[in-house]
Amino acid sequence: MSRAVRFAPLALLLLVVAALIWRLATPADTSVHSKLEGKPVPAFDLGPALDAKPPLSSRDLATGGPRIVNIFASWCVPCIGEVKVLRQLQARGVAIDGIAVRDRPEDLAAFLQVNGDPYERIGGDPQSQVQISLGSSGVPESFVIDGKGIVRYQHIGPIEPADVPLILAKLEQAR
Amino acid sequence: MKRVAILVAFLSAQPLLADSNLPPAYWADRQLPDPRDEAKAQALMDELRCLVCQGQSIADSDAELAGDMRDLVRRRIAAGEKPSAIRSWLIQRYGTWISYKPTAEPAAWPLWLAPLALLLIGAWLIRRRIKR
């Protein structure tokens, strides 16, 4: 057996170890991106999530100007922090609608009272059906929709203060 | 005294819940009345990937979203929709990622060619042995 062949298993082992270290150091992106970017919002018609707010249907999204659809829930902890950022966006004139996933009216009312209410409309999605039809895989997620009702951008996870310039740029592009 | 206080604090602590307060969807954990429909739904659910516990099928996952997807699959099967139509509806939204069934895309070619390559290597090894 030649020397090179004898060291082949060791070289293979080192290669595997190097690959494992590389993947541990830079983990793969496990977020699932919606394939609906660039496509129209699927037709939906949600009932009101609570009595005090108008409900949301896909027709309410094609209004001539860009909007944000925020998928959230009162039981979602990161959503508490995100609402503050959404209120800042609303104060800058951004139109925001909400889809409340698996929520109860009384929980949602308490959530909005404590954290503020940046939403024009809120649709209740008690069995995540509209969330699934949008290709969303969790809360919170946000979609930028243009004036014709086309999905332009999906933001996975909460919109942090640092994401505001990105969101405003995406809204401008959707204008 | 301090130990007792710590013990009481541990016992009275509530877990931070990351799930909703709503019960599972109606068809999430319930079999369809028609056994043939249920078999079709089960076969499809075994091949759909859970969005939360990635690596599990929605049939295996306890995540709420997986329950809602099982509800979606069973309701559509009961309404007469074909499993392949439901699968492609989900692929339109989440990409081929959502389905465990391998496709014929170029990315999957090594998967299909691997058995052939292994057979050829095996034949070559056997030929060497016989010759010796």
Mutation choice for B interface testing from A35, A76, A77, A103 by most B CBs within 10 A: A35
Position B13 scores a pLDDT of 67
A70-102 residue pLDDT tens: 999 999 999 999 999 999 999 999 999 999 999
Position B116 scores a pLDDT of 96
Question: Residue A36: its chain B contacts at CB < 8 A?
Answer: 92-93
CB-nearest partner of B94 from A32, A103, A138? A32
Is there a contact between A135 and B93 if contact means CB atoms under 8 Å apart? yes
Is there a contact between B95 and A32 if contact means CB atoms under 8 Å apart? yes
The answer to whether residue B93 neighbours chain A at the CB level (below 8 Å) is: yes
The answer to whether residue B97 neighbours chain A at the CB level (below 8 Å) is: yes
SS (HEC) of chain B: CHHHHHHHHHHHCCCCCCCCCCCCCCCCCCCCCCHHHHHHHHHHHHCEECCCCECEECCCCCCHHHHHHHHHHHHHHHCCCCHHHHHHHHHHHHCHHHECCCCCCHHHHHHHHHHHHHHHHHHHHHHHHHHC
Contact predicate A79/A139, CB 8 Å: yes
Handedness of CA A123, A68, B85, B49 (dihedral sign): negative
Distance of CA B120 to the CA centre of its chain: 33
Mean pLDDT within B26-41: 96
Q: Which residue of A lies nearest to B22 if distances are taken between CA atoms? A: A102
Q: Give yes or no for a cis peptide into A140 (omega within 30° of 0).
A: yes
Question: Residue B90: its chain A contacts at CB < 8 A?
Answer: 132
Q: Is A132 helix (H, G, I), strand (E, B) or coil?
A: helix
Contact predicate A147/A66, CB 8 Å: yes
pLDDT band at residue B7, thresholds of 50, 70 and 90? confident
Q: How many helices, marked H, and strands, marked E, lie in chain A?
A: 6, 6
Amino acid at A31: S
| CB contact residues (below 8 A), chain B span 37-66, against chain A | 51-52, 54, 64-65
CB-nearest partner of B51 from A32, A77, A104? A32
Is there a contact between A77 and B16 if contact means CB atoms under 8 Å apart? yes
Q: What is the ipTM of this complex?
A: 0.86
Distance from CA of B94 to the nearest CA of A (A): 5
**Alpha-carbon gap, residue B59 to B100, rounded angstroms:** 12
Residue A109 in tokens: 């009312």
Mean pLDDT within B72-85: 97
Please state the φ and ψ torsions of residue A32, each to the nearest 5 degrees.
-100, 115
Contact predicate A134/A41, CB 8 Å: yes
- By C-alpha distance, which of B37, B64, B38, B40 is closest to B53? B64
Q: Which residue of A lies nearest to B72 if distances are taken between CA atoms? A: A129
Residue A36 in tokens: 């609906």
Position B24 scores a pLDDT of 93
Q: Which residue of A lies nearest to B50 if distances are taken between CA atoms? A: A137
Instruction: Quote the percentage of chain B above a pLDDT of 70.
Output: 95
How many residues can be counted in chain A? 175
Position B107 scores a pLDDT of 84
Segments of chain A scoring below 50 in pLDDT: none
Mean pLDDT within B23-27: 93
